[in-house]
């Protein structure tokens, strides 16, 4: 039996309530109007306009190249589609790390120009001044620890983070700091399940995992991965709910063949 309460609109407060009542939080990415309308209508709690748009929508190898203007474009398209979900928007690489005033300016642009409801930043202690400044302006902040793709050149690989005790301890400390600063939730990416469970147990705010096991308070996946539109990316944590790559390839192939053979359009499909 579900212990879900009905939320007409999901807010940052609803998420903390969900955690307190033991209801798991569902989160997916979206980057455009049409997909966001489907995701919102299907009942997702949180839509993340992730900087993974850099990979998924633009074909870049990393999340580093996407700009603030591009994130605002994606986020405003998503916001126009939603009725219920909370929309969280990633601050892209280079828009919050140098100083806290720039971080605040970037967050304000996202909120003003896209209509998103919150921002997400990658990192812990190193970016605490930026987080504080954004929170002081009344903008809700989601943290992101573990594998933080904007630092990929520092890590060198996309492998599991915080397997060693020292890094695990730093992650737990950072998570507690983010909660103390006032973040409303934290994403934990690609870390051992036991560590994510411990962080979720020790924090009051929700912990949303991706590749972080079932002990987190919620789960997030990249929409195009879970729908099976992408097929080269196969991490262990990814569950594909469809094989859209195959269905779309077949549908488009059929269309090509129908056009070539003059099967399309038929008498009913013309004026």
Residues that bind ligand KIV (CB under 6 A): 29, 48, 50-52, 90, 187, 189, 210, 220, 222
Q: What are phi and psi of 238, to 5 degrees?
A: -85, 120
C-beta of 136: minimal distance to ligand KIV in Å? 24
- Name 127's Cβ contacts closer than 8 Å, sequence gap at least 6: 96, 97, 103, 121
**CB of 202 vs ligand KIV, minimal distance in Å:** 21
Phi/psi of residue 58, nearest 5 degrees: -110, -10
Residue 142: how many CB atoms within 10 A of its CB?
Answer: 26
Active site residue 202: no
Query: Residue 3 CB, nearest distance to ligand KIV (Å)?
Result: 25
- Decide whether 5 or 123 has the Cβ nearer to ligand KIV: 123
Helix H or strand E encompassing 175: helix 165-181
Distance separating alpha carbons of residues 103 and 109, to the nearest angstrom: 10
Q: State which residue, 1 or 95, has the beta carbon closest to ligand KIV.
A: 95
State the minimum distance, in angstroms, from the CB of residue 56 to ligand KIV.
8
Q: Which residue, chain included where needed, has tokens 């060198």?
A: 156
Catalytic one of 23, 164, 189, 197: 189
- Nearest residue to ligand KIV, scored by beta-carbon proximity: 50
18 or 216: CB nearest ligand KIV = 216
Closest CB to ligand KIV among 134 and 210?
Answer: 210
Are 26 and 45 within 8 A, CB to CB? yes
Q: How far is the CB of 1 from ligand KIV (least distance, A)?
A: 29
CA separation for the pair 40, 42 (Å, rounded): 5
CA dist., res. 42 & res. 59, Å (int): 27
Report d(CA 118, CA 138) in Å as an integer: 10
Three-state DSSP class for 124? coil
Taking the least distance from each CB to ligand KIV, the nearer of 58 and 252 is 58
Which residues belong to the active site?
189
């Amino acid at each position: 039996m579900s212990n879900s309460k009905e939320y007409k609109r999901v807010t940052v407060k609803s998420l903390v309530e969900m955690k307190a009542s033991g209801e798991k939080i569902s989160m997916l990415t979206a980057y455009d109007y049409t997909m966001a309308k489907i995701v919102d209508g299907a009942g997702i709690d949180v839509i993340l306009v992730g900087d993974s748009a850099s990979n998924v929508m633009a074909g870049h190898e990393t999340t580093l190249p996407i700009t603030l203007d591009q994130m605002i474009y994606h986020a405003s398209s998503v916001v126009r589609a939603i009725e219920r979900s909370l929309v969280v928007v990633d601050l892209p690489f280079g828009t919050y790390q140098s100083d806290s005033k720039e971080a605040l300016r970037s967050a304000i642009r996202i909120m003003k120009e896209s209509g998103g409801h919150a921002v997400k930043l990658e990192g812990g202690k190193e970016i605490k001044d930026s987080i504080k400044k954004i929170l002081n302006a009344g903008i809700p902040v989601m943290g992101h620890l573990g594998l933080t793709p904007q630092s990929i050149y520092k890590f060198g690989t996309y492998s599991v983070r915080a397997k060693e005790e020292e890094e695990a301890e730093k992650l737990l400390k950072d998570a507690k700091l983010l909660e103390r600063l006032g973040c409303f939730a934290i994403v934990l990416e690609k870390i051992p399940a036991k560590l994510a469970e411990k962080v979720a147990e020790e924090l009051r705010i929700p912990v949303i995992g991706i590749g972080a096991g079932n002990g987190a308070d919620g789960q997030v996946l990249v929409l195009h991965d879970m729908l099976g539109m992408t097929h080269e990316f196969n991490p262990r944590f990814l569950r594909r709910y469809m094989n859209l790559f195959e269905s779309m390839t077949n549908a488009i192939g059929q269309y090509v063949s129908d056009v070539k053979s003059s099967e399309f359009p038929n008498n009913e499909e013309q004026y």
